[in-house]
Amino acid sequence: MARITAGVGCSHVPAIGVAMDTNITEQDYWKPVFNGFEFSRQWMKDNKPDVVFLVYNDHCTVFDASCIPTFALGCAAEFPPADEGWGPRPVPVVKNHQKMASHIAQSLVLDEFDITIMNEMEVDHGLTVPMSVMFGDHGVDDEWPCPVIPLAVNVVQYPAPLGRRCYNLGKAVRRAIESYGEDLNVVIFGTGGMSHQLQAERAGLINSDWDKRFLDLLTEDPVAASEITHLEYLRETGSEGIEMVMWHVMRGALNDDVREVHRHYHVPASNTAVGHIILENI
Amino acid sequence: MAKEYDDIPGTFVFDADRSREGYWLNQFCITLRKEECRQAMRDDPEAYLAKFAMSDEQRQAVRDRDWNLLLELGGNIYYTAKLAAFDGINFQELAALMTGVSREEYRDMMLNGGRSIEGNRFKSEWEIK
């Protein structure tokens, strides 16, 4: 039986990908951002997943305004990096574990989560930046260390799914994975956040105290964390801070009791507070 | 109808109403992710803009690159950022333009921990200023 052993929370700021792609990670501006991922890259080697289940959002790259699925599960054989206007990121094509993805698609719908099934999909920085920070530099001709099952969540058009809904979806993802026959180690990623606002006159908003409380609550009281209202995200963490609902999918898929083995928090990366956490099931 | 997030200052929540109003504006912006569309926009901006069923006000805001007005008229930042990228403007530079400060001032604000939440939760706090 497949099992989820750990969860990773991680921001997916596009500028972090640009910094890696242009080899400027040693600059004073970027060093503190990347220092916090050194532990994580070693941890990924020591706890090498057979499959990553990665929750992220598309940033009006692949999904235009004509179709806005709340939850879209990647079931294609592979997912090429998308051109977001500056050419595709020079990173490997993401390969799926297609058999497990199909199993999860079926299991989720029967579990009353009516997801959209994507049989062709490109992926933007929302997915590739977490891969890069967690697995380190990989060029176009390399392969990522393991297959990835992507779950795209709408957090662009308000309202995003509620935190509670995301948390419960995480539980359904866990049931799906645990009912898959093969003995595989799965690590689940929840990405996006933390506090940031990219738009209008309040752009640049950061709320570090709130972010740190969120990380505490996520580890210690995930149900309470999942009850945070949309209005609180918008007001306290900026209009784009609502991406944090995606972390609840990750947390819902883990045990109630987890061990926080790593945490990293830094301001800024471009317009955004970078948050990162690794939680192991106890 | 009043919305519970209407009292957040300096913010346009991209909800279903804005999405409806901004549909063609956003669909125009996203085409600029493709080189052939960028070329068409460079060659003849008016002809290219005419292909999309935007309102006159939206079309004028595109011509003026009035970044905040584009949001008010239903644009979403991830779409308008593609118009900005067409002009060679990245997210951080765009944020500086929308907040009315220089690139350097904006970058320094972020390096100093970003815009504080204190005094920036409610419109009423901005009115006092």
pLDDT tens digits, one per residue of A136-175: 999 999 999 999 999 999 999 999 999 999 999 999 999 9
Percent of chain A having pLDDT more than 90? Answer: 98
Cβ separation A203–B109 shorter than 8 A? no
pLDDT digits (tens, 9 = 90+) for B46-67: 999 999 999 999 999 999 999 9
The angle at the Cα of B52, spanning B47 to B58, to the nearest 5 degrees, equals 95
Cβ separation A267–B117 shorter than 8 A? no
Q: What is the mean pLDDT of each run of 10 residues along chain B (129 residues)?
A: 95 98 98 94 98 98 98 98 94 96 98 98 91
Q: How far is A13 from chain B (nearest CA, A)?
A: 11
Listed in sequence order, the residues at least 6 apart from A84 whose beta carbon sits closer than 8 Å to its beta carbon are A14, A59, A61, A124, A125, B33
Tokens at residue A73, please?
């599960």
What's the start-to-end Cα distance of chain A, in Å?
18
Per CB-CB distance under 8 Å, the chain B contacts of A204 are 95, 99, 106, 109-110, 114-115
| CATH class label, B13-88 | mainly alpha
pLDDT of residue B128: 77
Peptide bond into A194 cis (omega under 30): yes
pLDDT of residue A84: 87
Touching check for B92 and chain A: CB below 8 Å?
Answer: yes
Judged against a pLDDT cut of 90, whether residue A86 lies above it is answered with: no
Which domains, from first to last, does chain A contain?
Answer: 3-281 (3.40.830.10)
pLDDT band at A87 (very low <50, low <70, confident <90, very high): confident
Which residue among A196, A264, A266, A276 is the active-site one? A196
Provide the ipTM: 0.97
pLDDT of residue B85: 92
A196 is catalytic: yes
Tokens at residue B101, please?
């400060």
Cβ separation A64–B121 shorter than 8 A? no
Q: What is the mean pLDDT of residues A13-18?
A: 95
Per-domain boundaries in chain B: 13-88
A125 is catalytic: yes
pLDDT of residue A121: 98
Angstrom distance (rounded) from CA B66 to CA B75: 11
Touching check for B3 and chain A: CB below 8 Å?
Answer: no
Q: How far is A184 from chain B (nearest CA, A)?
A: 37
Q: What is the mean pLDDT of residues A261-272?
A: 97
Amino acid at A259: R
pLDDT of residue B108: 97
Cβ separation B85–A86 shorter than 8 A? yes
Q: Is A6 helix (H, G, I), strand (E, B) or coil?
A: strand
Touching check for B103 and chain A: CB below 8 Å?
Answer: no
> HSE of B80 in the Cβ direction (CA atoms, 13 Å)?
31
Least confident among A79-93, A177-191, B57-71:
A79-93
pTM for this prediction: 0.98
| CA A3 to chain centroid | 19
Q: Which of B14, B85, B99 sits opposite A157 (nearest CB)?
A: B14
Listed in sequence order, the residues at least 6 apart from B110 whose beta carbon sits closer than 8 Å to its beta carbon are A204, A206, A267, A268, A270, A271, B92
The angle at the Cα of B16, spanning B13 to B17, to the nearest 5 degrees, equals 85
pLDDT of residue B129: 64
| CA B35 to chain centroid | 21
